[in-house]
């Protein structure tokens, strides 16, 4: 046990000396900050409800303009000004007095045709189009209601519009899983580097001369890599907590991510043993992690979804079972890889 701790300590000392762990945390912070910025940017661009006071002015004309005005009354952020004829509406648009033109006319088939003109390639085009869609959908609902008697299946009444933050779901379903799983990949990569570097520099031979078994070397290196992962994840969760995001089930989340780290580290040890050249090893490792994680995420109840449900406090018994299953798989994988490497040794 003692020699394993020594090896683990040596690994951590190396990380500290090179301050790489700071770089790692810096990278994670950058990813987190940027993805948040990105979402804020996208939301304010593409979800004008989040834009305070985004109000579009629609110049309307045509014989169905009254209904359109009524629909505008129900939509926040859009107001309709009726014009006598389409040309007047268009000239208002040209004068910048309106953001868009809607010419609504009733056709002989009983439908309403809305010819919409939106400005071309300006910053707010997207906002205008999104608001217009909202307005026209409301209009469609009203018209559909008026024709409900012709429908075989009547649509369900909609519940009232509520206030909600567009960032809420993002925080739990994207940001927290990303922050929780980044340390997992970093730990695996560290193990690959650590083993291939020792092989490359010839220090692994020195280590083999010392009274430690290969299994103990693997244990020591794995312990260091697995140990730092939950610490980083906890750091992120605490940071989120300090920012006012409640994260539920911190314990199970950490257990899940530690299990995944162990699994990824086991894969990393196996790859480093098979491909002692760093280039090949890192390439194989990236691909393997991509496959593992991509595959797991695509399945129902993948790790990312499990973390999201745990963090948002919507976990049920199956989520708990899933965590236990991951722990079991990880332990089995690690013990299996350790056994094979202990017998075969590194680097053929």
Partner 1 sequence: MTDRLRRAARRLAVSVRRVLRVARWESARASGGVDRRTLAAGVALLLVAGGVVGVGVATGVAGLDVDRDVYRVGVDAESPYADAIEAEPSLRAVPAGTSSLGDSADAVVVTVVRPGSVDDETVDAADVEDVIVRASDTRKGEAAAAAVREAVEAHNERLMRAEPNRTAAFPVTVTLRYVGRTTGFDDGATLGGSDGGSTGGSTDGSADGTGGDGSGDGGSDDESGVADGGTGDGESDGADAGGTDSGDGAAESDGSDGLLGVPSIGGAAFGADTVGSPGSITPPFPFTSLLLAFVFLVPMNFLIQAYGSSILDERTNRRGEPLLVTPLSPGEIVAGKTLPYAATAAVVTTLIAALVGGGALSVIAVAPVAAAFLGATFVGAMFARSFKELTFVTVGVSVLLTTYAFVPAIFTNVTPVALVSPLTLVVFDLQGEAVSAGEALFSTAPMAVGAALLFGLGLGVYREEDMFSQKPVTRKFLDALAVRLSPVSVGSGLLDRGLLRALGAVALLTACTIPFVFVAELLAVAVLFALPVTVSIPVLLVSIAFIEEVAKSIALYAGFERGVFGRTDGVDAGEGRGGDGGTLRVALAVGIASGTGFFVAEKVTAVVQAVGLTDLFLGRAAFADVAGLSGLPPLALAALFFAPLALHVATTSVASVGASRGRTAYAVALTLATLGHAAYNVGVVSLG
14-43 residues in contact with partner 1 (CB under 8 A) are: 14-15, 18-20, 23-24, 26-27, 30-31, 34, 37-38, 40-42
Give the residue among 281, 262, 283 at the shortest CA–CA distance from 272. Answer: 281
Give the residue among 232, 243, 260 at the shortest CA–CA distance from 334. Answer: 260
Give the gyration radius of the chain's Cα atoms.
29
Q: What stretch of H or E contains 101?
A: strand 100-106
Q: How far apart are CA 337 and CA 88, in angstroms?
A: 77
Query: Which residue stretch of 216-224, 257-265, 310-318, 320-328 sits at the interface with partner 1 (rule: CB under 8 A)?
Result: 310-318
Question: Do residues 191 and 272 lie in contact, with contact meaning Cβ atoms separated by under 8 Å?
Answer: yes
Residue list 130-169, contact with partner 1 (CB under 8 A)? 130, 132-133, 136-137, 139-140, 143-144, 146-148, 150-165, 168-169
Closest approach of partner 1 to the CB of residue 3, in Å: 21
Residue list 187-246, contact with partner 1 (CB under 8 A)? 189-190, 193-194, 196-197, 200-202
Residue list 243-272, contact with partner 1 (CB under 8 A)? none
**CB-CB neighbours of 31 under 10 Å:** 14
C-alpha distance from residue 298 to each of 129, 215, 302, 311 (Å): 33, 34, 7, 19
Give the residue among 179, 347, 186 at the shortest CA–CA distance from 265. Answer: 186
Q: Judged by CB under 8 A, which of 6, 76, 81, 124 binds partner 1?
A: 124
Query: Which residue stretch of 123-131, 231-239, 255-263, 334-342 sits at the interface with partner 1 (rule: CB under 8 A)?
Result: 123-131
Q: Judged by CB under 8 A, which of 57, 81, 82, 327 binds partner 1?
A: 57
Closest to partner 1 by CB, 1 vs 299, is: 299
- The answer to whether residue 284 forms part of the interface with partner 1 (CB under 8 A) is yes
Closest to partner 1 by CB, 49 vs 215, is: 49
- The count of C-alpha atoms lying within 13 angstroms of the C-alpha of 113, restricted to the half-sphere facing its C-beta, is 6
Query: Which residue stretch of 122-130, 228-236, 251-259, 336-344 sits at the interface with partner 1 (rule: CB under 8 A)?
Result: 122-130
Q: Judged by CB under 8 A, which of 274, 324, 327, 340 binds partner 1?
A: 274
Residue with tokens 């010819």: 115
Query: Which residue stretch of 231-239, 252-260, 281-289, 330-338 sits at the interface with partner 1 (rule: CB under 8 A)?
Result: 281-289
Closest to partner 1 by CB, 211 vs 244, is: 244
Closest approach of partner 1 to the CB of residue 258, in Å: 21
C-alpha distance from residue 296 to each of 14, 145, 239, 306, 318 (Å): 32, 44, 27, 11, 16
Q: How far apart are CA 59 and CA 28, in angstroms?
A: 48
Query: Which residue stretch of 251-259, 308-316, 320-328, 334-342 sits at the interface with partner 1 (rule: CB under 8 A)?
Result: 308-316
């Amino acid at each position: 046990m003692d020699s394993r701790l020594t090896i683990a300590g040596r690994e951590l000392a190396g990380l500290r000396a090179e301050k790489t762990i700071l770089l790692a945390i810096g990278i994670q912070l950058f990813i987190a900050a940027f993805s948040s910025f990105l979402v804020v940017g996208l939301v304010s661009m593409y979800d004008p409800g989040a834009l305070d006071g985004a109000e579009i002015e629609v110049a309307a004309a045509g014989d169905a303009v009254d209904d359109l005005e009524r629909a505008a009354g129900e939509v926040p952020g859009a107001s309709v000004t009726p014009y006598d004829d389409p040309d007047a509406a268009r000239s208002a648009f040209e004068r910048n007095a309106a953001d868009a033109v809607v010419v609504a006319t009733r056709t002989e088939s009983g439908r309403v045709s809305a010819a919409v003109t939106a400005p071309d390639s300006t910053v707010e085009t997207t906002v205008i189009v999104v608001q217009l869609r909202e307005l026209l959908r409301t209009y469609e609902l009203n018209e559909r209601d008026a024709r409900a008697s012709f429908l075989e299946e009547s649509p369900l009444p909609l519940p009232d519009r509520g206030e909600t933050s567009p960032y809420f779901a993002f925080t739990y379903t994207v940001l927290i899983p990303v922050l929780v799983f980044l340390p997992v990949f970093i730990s695996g990569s560290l193990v690959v580097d650590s083993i291939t570097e020792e092989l490359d520099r010839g220090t692994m031979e020195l280590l083999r001369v010392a009274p430690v078994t290969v299994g103990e070397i693997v244990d020591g290196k794995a312990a260091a890599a697995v140990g730092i992962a939950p610490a980083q994840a906890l750091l992120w969760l605490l940071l989120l907590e300090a920012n006012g995001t409640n994260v539920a089930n911190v314990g199970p989340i950490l257990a899940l991510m530690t299990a995944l780290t162990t699994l990824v580290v086991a894969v990393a040890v196996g790859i480093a043993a098979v491909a002692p050249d760093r280039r090949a090893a890192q390439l194989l490792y990236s691909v393997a992690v991509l496959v593992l994680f991509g595959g797991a995420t695509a399945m129902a109840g993948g790790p990312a979804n499990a973390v999201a449900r745990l963090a948002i406090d919507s976990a049920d018994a199956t989520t708990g079972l899933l965590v236990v299953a991951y722990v079991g798989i990880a332990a089995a994988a690690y013990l299996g890889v350790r056994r094979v490497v202990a017998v075969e040794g590194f680097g053929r």
